[in-house]
Amino acid sequence: MQVEKKDELYRGKAKTVFLTNVENKLILEFRDDTSAFDGEKIEQLKRKGEVNNKFNHFIMQKLEEQGISTQVEKCLSDNESLVKKLNMIPVECVVRNYAAGSLCRRLGVEEGIVLSPPTFEFFLKNDALHDPMVNESHITGFKWATEDQIAKMKLLSFEVNDILVALFAKGDMLLVDFKLEFGVDENGHIVLGDEFTPDGCRLWDKDTKKKLDKDRFRQGLGSVVESYIEVASRIGLSL
Q: What domains are defined for the chain?
A: 5-84 (3.30.200.20), 87-224 (3.30.470.20)
Contact 35, 212 (CB under 8 A): no
The amino acid at residue 128 is A
The answer, yes or no, to whether residue 94 has pLDDT greater than 80, is: yes
Say how many C-beta atoms besides its own lie within 10 A of residue 121's C-beta: 18
**1-33 residue pLDDT tens:** 789 999 999 999 999 999 999 999 999 999 999
**124-179 residue pLDDT tens:** 999 899 999 999 999 999 999 999 999 999 999 999 999 999 999 999 999 999 99
Buried b (16+ CB within 10 A) or exposed e, 20-32: beeeeebbbbbbb
**32-75 residue pLDDT tens:** 999 887 767 889 999 999 999 999 999 999 999 999 999 999 99
**211-231 residue pLDDT tens:** 999 999 999 999 999 999 999
